[in-house]
Amino acid sequence: MNHLDEYKSFVMIPEEILEELIQATGDIKKIKDLLEKEDHSGTLGEFITEEKAKEILSRGTTWFWNKRKSGELPGKKAAGRWYYKSTDLNKYIENGKSL
């Protein structure tokens, strides 16, 4: 058996998201489990891509840019893509902000 045969696939995630996952879970096994469950639906653990968030909230790029700029909706950019924590999106909605 070739030593590469043990690897089924590779997953690339931005380093800052990996660091945040490590801080949040404190367990590399939990992170591996999250990555294996990743279904390319626009979510990775508690992070949602801006593309998926646009679908969920029926909003466009400019709306998200304005919310990030005003500090109302924090986001992180990694590897050329914007990510939001689902908890931040939920807080935004729960606080009664008009969408």
In a domain, 3, yes or no: no
How is residue 69 written in tokens? 């700029």
The answer to the question of residue 7 being in a domain is: no
Residue 76, H or E segment: strand 76-78
Examine the pLDDT at 2 and tell me if it is beyond 70.
Answer: no
Is the pLDDT higher at 93 or at 67? 67
pLDDT in tens, 89-98: 888 888 876 5
The reply to whether 4 falls in a domain is no
Return the higher-pLDDT residue of 44 and 85: 85
pLDDT greater than 60 at residue 30: yes
The verdict on residue 44 lying in a domain is yes
Residue 23: domain span: 13-94
Q: How many structural domains comprise the chain? A: 1
Task: Please state the pTM of the whole predicted model.
Answer: 0.55
In this structure, which long-range contacts are made by residues 30-35, counting pairs with CB atoms below 8 Å and at least 24 apart in sequence?
35/11
Mean pLDDT of 64-88: 91
pLDDT interval class at 66 (50, 70, 90): very high
Residue 51 pLDDT > 70, yes or no? yes
Does some domain include residue 2? Answer: no
Average pLDDT on 49-75 reads 92
Instruction: Determine, yes or no, domain membership for 25.
Output: yes
> Average of pLDDT values for 18-36?
66
